[in-house]
Structure 1
Amino acid sequence: MKSENYMNLEFPSRSANEAFARSAIACFAAQLDPTLDELGDIKTAVSEAVTNCIVHAYPETIGPVILRARLLPDNVLDIMVKDRGCGIADLEQACRPMFTTGGEERSGMGITIMESFMTEFRISSVPGKGTTVHMKRRIVRRGGKK
């Protein structure tokens, strides 16, 4: 599908870059004139995806995190967050609420949160190769805007 605009970012899996990713996606999504609630949902979903890369994909090292976003027709924001980390051995189990490999301080709700805040959500992973989270959010047009 042809995009109306796009961005590609790559950054190291350092915890400070989670805030960077949230800010970058918020600035990019602003073109669609989202409500504050919609923008909050988008920022939270991207934050969860990037945090999963930092905590789970590269638990003992620093590696690349790729954030791509496109504006699609009908006010759709298309987002991809990808890593080249350790991958997920059991994707079905990882998608269950409350499951985590990140220790007691993690809630295990990241995938559930991402899925609940997006119009479309899918995740794919290959052990030893990395994980890709693909999300879409349709932004409601307001005030007669076309």
Structure 2
Amino acid sequence: MNKVTLKFKSRMENESFARITACAFLSPLNPTIEEMMEIKTIVSEAVTNAILHGYDSNPNKLVKLEIGYDDNGCVTMIISDSGNGIEDIRQAMEPLYTSKAELERSGMGMTIMQTFSDSFDVISRLKEGTSVVVQKQLQKSK
């Protein structure tokens, strides 16, 4: 398995860096444009949640992105923070649910991430943080 771990400050401008890094790391697998869009969306939603909900936009905290893939093109991504945690994961999974309604956001994107994943899990403990664990099987390149 090939793997990389990236830690970065919880600043919104680093969300695009995380997306681009994930795509660059997975480029040897020759993902389709659709697969790349889905991966970018998963990373974007999870990183944004860590920054806004996990850390309340505190730019001095760290978000961690772990990404790896095996010889069959199975990608595993773990996006984690050590922030607030999620009180009710089932509620957070509801479309359009957000813990930050004042930010006028359209939700936490959990259903979107789940739709683009083959396996999707959220592990969270209050005041300890949250990890989003995603597996996605890429189609075999020819």
Query: TM over 0.5, yes or no?
Result: yes
* Residue of structure 2 equivalent to 1:22: 19
Indicate if the aligned counterparts of 2:79 and 2:132 stay in contact, CA closer than 8 A.
yes
* Residue of structure 1 equivalent to 2:72: 74
Deviation at 1:94, TM superposition (A): 0.8
* Residue of structure 1 equivalent to 2:97: 99
Secondary structure in 2 matching 1:37? helix
> So what's the TM-score if we normalise by structure 1?
0.91
- For 1:56-92, what per-residue CA distance to the aligned partner results, in whole angstroms no more than 9, with x for missing partners? 0011523110000111242101100000000001111
Secondary structure in 2 matching 1:132? strand
Extract unaligned runs of 5+ from structure 2.
none
Select the residue among 29, 34, 48 that pairs with 1:32: 29
2:50 counterpart letter in structure 1: C
2:7 counterpart letter in structure 1: E
Secondary structure in 2 matching 1:108? coil
1:15 counterpart letter in structure 2: M
Which runs of structure 2 are paired with 1:35-114 in the superposition (5 Å)?
A: 35-59=32-56, 61-62=58-59, 63-104=61-102, 105-114=104-113
1:127 counterpart letter in structure 2: L
Deviation at 1:119, TM superposition (A): 1.2
Extract unaligned runs of 5+ from structure 1.
none
d(CA) in 2 for partners of 1:45, 1:124: 16
Deviation at 1:102, TM superposition (A): 1.7
* Residue of structure 2 equivalent to 1:7: 4
Secondary structure in 1 matching 2:27? helix
Once the two structures are aligned, what percentage of the paired residues are identical? 39
Secondary structure in 2 matching 1:122? strand
Aligned residues: 140
d(CA) in 1 for partners of 2:101, 2:10: 18
Distance 1:73 1:126, change over 3 A: same
Q: Does 1:141 align with 2:140?
A: yes
Q: Which moved more, 1:53-62 or 1:125-134?
A: 53-62
- How large is the Cα RMSD of the aligned pairs? 1.2
> So what's the TM-score if we normalise by structure 2?
0.94
Structure 1 residue ranges (4+ consecutive) displaced by more than 3 angstroms after TM superposition: none
